[in-house]
Amino acid sequence: MALTRNKPLVVVLLLGFVIMSTLTIGAQSIGVCYGTNGDNLPSASQVINLYKSNGIGSMRIYDPNSDTLQALKGSGIELILDVPNTSLQSLASDASDASTWVQNNVVNYASDVKFRYIAAGNEVLPTGSNAQYAQYVLPAMKNVQSAITSAGLQGQIKVSTATYSSVLGTSYPPSAGSFSSDVSSFINPIISFLAENGSPLLANIYPYFSYTGNTQSIQLDYALFTSPEVVVKDGSYQYQNLFDALLDALYAALGKAGGSNLKIVVSESGWPSEGGTAATVDNARTYYKNLINHVKGGTPRKSGAIETYLFAMFDENQKTGLETEKHFGLFTPSQESKYQISFS
């Protein structure tokens, strides 16, 4: 999740990478994001132990924090590692900088840390608050990919980027999903790169923000996976929850842009426990529990388990932007579970 997020008052679909952890569901995993924007959080070694004691098998981190990478050694936890937006320009402009970054933050740990994906940038589009980084995303991806290949790790680690809702110009009904005309020249070459390298697209999917941005048209139970009946009929596809509708709108857009064979990894999804509309402990518990169960299957458009990362591991008291940003944690900073959730 971006440190600051301006949510449009429309159905929101997000793509992206913070620290995340995952549970195994067949060949897929449930992940939990581990962000560090707090002044009261446990040490990296304590966090790794918390992941392990809760059976969380994968993690996403938003920057190459050396303490976290050291603590991950020998843990068996799979990792999504972000290239921070502020590092994109240097990695895009100079292949040697990308090689050094990969050597220092990946290769030096690769024998003991299970890297899964490198996310070059989080929620970067040529429009919006991160527009200044957009021109560097694909060149950075290419340079990081070259460095990964040179290190002989291309079979283990895939390079991608994390994006979000504003990439779509149309998201309803899901089958009409298409990329916005003002981002197509940005996203289409990225789709080609992902297809050529067998990499997934990372997407931050937040029914919470879609619901709160359009409460007149979207019912709370549709966002929480608790609707007793089909809400949206879209040709042969029927939708009983908003998560599937958001994800399938992105799949539909990929199909129209030549990416019909791409896999989407849900790199963030969560619900806040306070700070805004419908942000309660009960709603958050309901969302996380239902999401964990739901992603064991597919969507109306795509069958199979959905690799998903929950946002986030802890409440983070130094997050900026909306007040809700501080309250997405599955655990308190004192490592107590807020929801007594089983990650399996």
Active site residues: 123, 268
Structure letter (DSSP) for residue 133:
G
Q: Which residues pair with 82 in a beta bridge?
A: 119
For residue 190, count CB atoms less than 10 angstroms from its CB and return exposed for 0-12, middle for 13-18, buried for 19 or more: buried
| Bond preceding residue 176 cis, omega within 30 of 0 | no
The token duo for 154 is 């291309």
Non-local (6+) Cβ contacts of 147 within 8 A are 95, 98, 99, 101, 102, 103
Spacing of C-alpha 174 from chain mean position: 20
The token duo for 8 is 């449009």
Where does 16-174 show beta strands of DSSP type E?
Answer: 19-21, 23-25, 28-33, 58-61, 78-83, 114-122, 158-163, 168-170
The token duo for 285 is 């518990």
CA distances from 327 to 6, 35, 49, 75, 318 (A): 17, 12, 22, 27, 11
Angle at 80 between CA 78 and CA 83, to 5 degrees: 150
Q: What is the C-alpha separation between 193 and 255, in angstroms, rounded?
A: 15
Q: Which residue has the tokens 């986030």?
A: 312
